[in-house]
Structure 1
């Protein structure tokens, strides 16, 4: 192998957030918790330090080794993590870093669930990385490589917990923090302008409001995802058929931790959801499942990627998955030749034409597409984690008011 080929091979073993310029720039604008996972001696610390060095101005490396936490089966449920967790919590609360790197074996599910909860609490996306060293699962070699001097038997006891890939609730593109903040402001502006539109005020019945009432859309759409994202593949932690095969696809492996720019062409609101339509680019369609549209509308045919969206908010008791279904309803109407009735124009950051499709369905075709940076990763925490939208501390109470 030539020196250049050898270098290319080594670069290919590194995650995109280390070697891809666009990914590096996106990570710098994001809030990410990187969890290094693997057996002792497999190369986690080397990888962790490489990431820390790459992002030395914005990162913080926290190591289980420095807290003398010896890797062992079920050791993580005890009090040995209390000091490490204190350090991690302080880092989050004092905003000491936007990229937090945690170097540990991460073999225990109970321990991982606690970390996922912490990430959600402080609005950090999670990226799980494992070293690609040839010996990472070779206990005979690891016996001589790990500084804990773990025996062959101890390593073999740990290996089953790390051999199987950790699958998320879903894979998707998670918006960089700066772009997420901007997208939330755009969502608020869209809802405020739409709610003040004369044509909208005359069509409140689908939203449960009578005549002579005013609807506060910010209160109506009471929930918003904890981190704005565009879901690519729902896995339910591996319970969904085909999840493991999806995760093993070469395109998915190459995309993991890579930065992408999402293009938003329209915003829409229905009595159930408010969302953004995403136009996937050719490289993004590589990780888009062929059956993504059929999953929710098996009797209809749509172009691949039609369901791609960002959920911006939902009404009470409505699940986020409904947003993609609502978007396909718009596309289904358009496919049948119905373009909606042009009932107004919005200005500013949400400039564009507003069309009404009956049954409370409003679509804003943006005059200028929005671009947002994102990282392709997985969501590993509990389902249904959301935050209240601005001006909605107690859900949708008093959403309709007499004008």
Structure 2
């Protein structure tokens, strides 16, 4: 980086994926689409090239400038993006890089929606980065800095679309691809072992089966999130009250695009969902909303962070949000002094004691917590994108366990 570029992007203003070692290691094992966003001349390209240099062995930088796409107030329907989108699609399809950087202004919502759809289709998480240069919104300075020679009036027309933060459907921790594959395999083994327990086979009524019938839990929980994650704050693109205030919190800003290790202490299954209980650390609780538990159980007093979970699968017509509600039902029972009926142990990757809480509620307290690496970011695409639960083929054979 040149001395001038270093002044433009001071060390303290660089995103974690450039300066934090744990984040860098996590990003290398993830699939991430980085969308540079900002006015022409604000420093996007400098930042994009810094990231490309950092991850040169596993990164691909695609630039709108290279395709001669002028940054003016435009929509996504024009043909100017055809070649760029072909390059992006080919990169995704051929898995040419785990980290893909797209350098453009990204001021148009229609255009962004198309990119979010592409990322979801190829199971890429999205990180939106904006340069922190002092002049990033100063049109007078940008007039002399942008190589497109855009006029002051053209820049002022673009500025309103880029002044406000772009809020996601929800913020959360998105699992690194390697760890996601491992956890999906762990979920598969949990459901297989649980389904084969004699105690489980005797209590099938809650799952719509008669005693002694065989229930394939993998088929029963036939849906799984496109990318495994632990939701922190549901925003509905800013429509939820308090979303903008949450996004503006200093702790949230510092956390964005940073790598975190999540600790899974238990797996659970109900007639509606199968999930993983996440124990948040003190650092992670800093970005956990104080009202997260009250949102779904307003009449109960529950420990902060007790709703933290990863949805592994849901039954037909059940929404992902139900997983957190099911987890809180376990928490409430435990708060009341009920530990559940001990009904056996599982072995292998999912070793631990199995407890039954009536109404088809099963909890596996793991003998050793499972660690999964993640990136804190936002989900910006359409809600409800899911994939079928996968079997063992093609998944990793080892988990990282504490």
Would the TM-score normalized by the shorter structure come out above 0.5? Answer: yes
Is 1:238 the counterpart of 2:244? The answer is no
Q: State the shift of 1:75 in Å.
A: 4.2
Matched with 2:323 is 323
Change (3 A) 1:321 1:75: closer
Matched with 2:311 is 311
Matched with 1:3 is none
SS at match of 1:144: helix
- Say whether the 8 Å CA contact 2:274–2:312 is kept in structure 1: yes
Q: Aligned runs of 1:2-13 on 2, under 5 Å?
A: 10-13=10-13
Q: Alignment length, in residue pairs? A: 386
Is 1:128 the counterpart of 2:128? The answer is yes
Is 1:74 the counterpart of 2:68? The answer is no
The superposition leaves residues 21-70 of structure 1 with CA deviations (integer Å, 9 ceiling, x where unpaired) of 00000000100000000000000000000000000000000000000000
CA distance in 1, matches of 2:381, 2:18: 25
- Say whether the 8 Å CA contact 2:139–2:155 is kept in structure 1: yes
The superposition leaves residues 247-301 of structure 1 with CA deviations (integer Å, 9 ceiling, x where unpaired) of 0000000000000000000000000000000000000000000000000000001
Q: State the shift of 1:313 in Å.
A: 0.2
SS at match of 2:10: helix
Matched with 1:226 is 226
SS at match of 2:194: helix
Matched with 1:400 is none
CA distance in 2, matches of 1:376, 1:205: 39
Cα RMSD of the aligned pairs, angstroms, is: 1.2
Q: Aligned runs of 1:241-280 on 2, under 5 Å?
A: 241-280=241-280
Q: State the shift of 1:389 in Å.
A: 1.2
Unaligned runs of 5+ in 1: 1-5, 392-403
Q: State the shift of 1:77 in Å.
A: 2.3
CA distance in 1, matches of 2:389, 2:218: 6
CA distance in 2, matches of 1:390, 1:94: 21
SS at match of 1:195: helix
- Say whether the 8 Å CA contact 2:32–2:125 is kept in structure 1: yes
SS at match of 2:214: strand
TM-score, with length taken from structure 1? 0.95
CA distance in 1, matches of 2:164, 2:249: 15
The superposition leaves residues 115-163 of structure 1 with CA deviations (integer Å, 9 ceiling, x where unpaired) of 0000000000000000000000000000000000000000000001111
Q: State the shift of 1:210 in Å.
A: 1.2
SS at match of 2:66: helix
SS at match of 1:101: strand
- Say whether the 8 Å CA contact 2:169–2:381 is kept in structure 1: yes
Q: State the shift of 1:176 in Å.
A: 0.2
Bigger Cα displacement from structure 2, 69-78 vs 176-185: 69-78
Q: Aligned runs of 1:135-174 on 2, under 5 Å?
A: 135-174=135-174
CA distance in 2, matches of 1:313, 1:276: 10
Matched with 2:382 is 382
Matched with 1:114 is 114
Matched with 1:44 is 44
CA distance in 2, matches of 1:181, 1:314: 18
CA distance in 2, matches of 1:171, 1:12: 23
Runs (4+) of structure 1 exceeding 3 A deviation are: none
Bigger Cα displacement from structure 2, 67-76 vs 114-123: 67-76
Q: State the shift of 1:12 in Å.
A: 1.3
Is 1:294 the counterpart of 2:294? The answer is yes
CA distance in 1, matches of 2:76, 2:106: 9
CA distance in 1, matches of 2:217, 2:315: 9
Matched with 1:183 is 183
Matched with 1:205 is 205
TM-score, with length taken from structure 2? 0.95
Unaligned runs of 5+ in 2: 1-5, 392-402
The superposition leaves residues 164-221 of structure 1 with CA deviations (integer Å, 9 ceiling, x where unpaired) of 1100000000000000000000000000000000000000000001123110000000
CA distance in 2, matches of 1:43, 1:76: 23
- Say whether the 8 Å CA contact 2:195–2:215 is kept in structure 1: yes
Matched with 2:365 is 365
CA distance in 1, matches of 2:75, 2:382: 23
